[in-house]
Amino acid sequence: MLFLTIWPVFALICLGFALQRACFPDAGFWPAAERVNYVLLFPALLVSTLADAPVRDPDLLRLGGAVVATICAAAALMALVRRARPMPARRFGPALQGVVRFNTYLGLAIVASLAGDPGLERAAVLLAVAVPLVNLLSIMALTDGSGTRGYGALVRRVVTNPLILACIAGIAIALSGSGLPFGTGRFLGLIAQASLPLGLLCVGAALRPAALRQHVGALAVIAVVRLLAMPAIAVVVAQGLGLQGVETLALVVFAAIPTAPTSYVLTRQLGGDGELMAGIVTAQTVASVLTIPVVLSLAGLG
């Protein structure tokens, strides 16, 4: 039953991959579509969702704490692995991103399929906490924390990230209690409707099967940590902090989904191993078709 609920999400990813391979509509469409979604459509979804979210609910505060605890626990685990098996930043950065980052479009689509609007509200709050944290951790891993001017510029890019700004705006509106005025809620809602379908198509278009031919052992280990160990950590954290229902679902889903395709862009910008990162994204996305239903079922969330 769980697979029947979420298979359309993966079908959109497969469709995006097929369209890109068929060069339809053309090669320039997909980067432009991803840019429009990232700057306009997806922020509209976050603002419209967060504007009415019960942000003063203690359960949401616990969810925020659970997000930080889960991500930091996973990052600490990766740091221990690096101590046991030293690796340069250009390879450790992709490995860390493969564990702590997440495919936002896929996570939101699955949570919305399973929990509707309440799920979207919880997921948007989760993003407000997680997006800046995982970006900073990723930059530090790729640069070994060096304080170069390039590093400072990328930190500023994180601070001005459209998703982070949208989360701040949505939470501020929710805290004010004013709501979205003059029909802007409906306007943003109409824009937001295109975000998840287009985002999932772009995820499929970004897959690179050729990258699976190398680093097979590393890809397998990182996939196991991300797709199996990470949700196990999330379940333990959720139980420890007393999360219930939809909050637990949102936390575990975002722990169980594959890493973000945008990790490849950051890796290339900071001189990391782009081929390894492309392989991580592709391997996890393919494997998650099987692992996500299994993980959610074992966690009693299906």
Domains in the chain, ordered, with CATH? 2-298 (1.20.1530.20)
pLDDT of residue 148: 47
Is residue 23 pLDDT above 60, yes or no?
yes
Segment 220-228 mean pLDDT: 96
What spatial distance separates the first Cα and last Cα of the chain, rounded to whole Å?
8
pLDDT of residue 293: 94
What percent of the chain shows pLDDT beyond 90?
A: 78
User: Which of the four pLDDT bands, split at 50, 70 and 90, describes residue 150?
Assistant: low
**CA-CA-CA-CA torsion for 257, 82, 69, 126, nearest 10 degrees?**
-40
Q: Angle at Cα 64 formed by Cα 62 and Cα 65, nearest 5°?
A: 65
Who has greater pLDDT, 145 or 172? 172
| Count of helices and strands (H, E) across the chain | 15, 0
Q: Angle at Cα 269 formed by Cα 201 and Cα 82, nearest 5°?
A: 95
d(CA 6, CA 289): 9
What percent of the chain shows pLDDT beyond 70?
A: 95
Q: Please tell me the pTM assigned to this model.
A: 0.92
